[in-house]
Amino acid sequence: MTRRKDFGSWLEGTPQGNSPTSDERARALEIPVSGSGSLAPLSRRIGALIVDWGAASAISWLFFDYAPMATLAVFAGAHFLFVSTLGFTIGHRLFGLRVKPEGTDMAFVGFVSGFLRTLLLCLVIPAAVWDAQGRGLHDKAARTIIVRR
C-alpha cells in the first residue's frame, strides 16, 4: 500500500531546497553509489525507452499498418511480459539496465508490480514525475528501481 509519506520527498522538496547528491539517493534506496546495482542514469533510461518504442512501432507497422493504439498495446504487452518475468526489456538490456524490486536483490519484479508499473508508464504522466531519488512515480507506486546491470 502506498502512503502519503512515501511521496513526501517530491511533494515537499528537500529541507535546504536543493537536490540530494547521488550518495544520498543511493543511501535512501539502499543501493550502491556506483557500478552494478546503482541507480540508472536518466540518459540510459530514455535511450532504453526509445529502443522499446521503436521495436513496438516496427511490430505495429508490420502487423497492424501502424495503428497508434496497436503500437501502445504492443509496447505495453512486451514491457509487462519482459519486466515481470525477466526484469528487463529489450531496451533495458541494450543499455545495461534492469528493473528490480525495491529493497531486494530478486532478479524479477513479478506480475502484480509489473502490471502496475506498465499501466502507469503507459499513462506517461506518472513516468514524467520524479521523486528526490530520481525515480518516476510509476516506479515508486510499483516499488521498483531501475538499476545498472
Determine the distance from the C-alpha atom of residue 66 to the mean position of all C-alpha atoms in its chain, rounded to a whole number. 25
Nearest to 145 by CA among 51, 32, 53: 32
Statement: the pTM of the whole predicted model exceeds 0.75: yes
The more confidently predicted of residues 148 and 107 is 148
Annotated domain spans of the chain: 4-148
For 29-55, what is each residue's pLDDT tens digit? Answer: 666 666 677 788 889 999 999 999 999
Average pLDDT over residues 65-87: 94
Q: Ramachandran region of residue 110, left (φ > 0), alpha (ψ -120 to 50) or beta?
A: left
Whole-angstrom Cα distance, residue 50 to residue 33? Answer: 26
Give the residue, 128 or 13, on which the prediction is more confident.
128
Q: Please report which confidence band the pLDDT of residue 12 belongs to, taking 50, 70 and 90 as the band edges.
A: low
Contact 102, 143 (CB under 8 A): yes
Is residue 75 over pLDDT 80?
Answer: yes
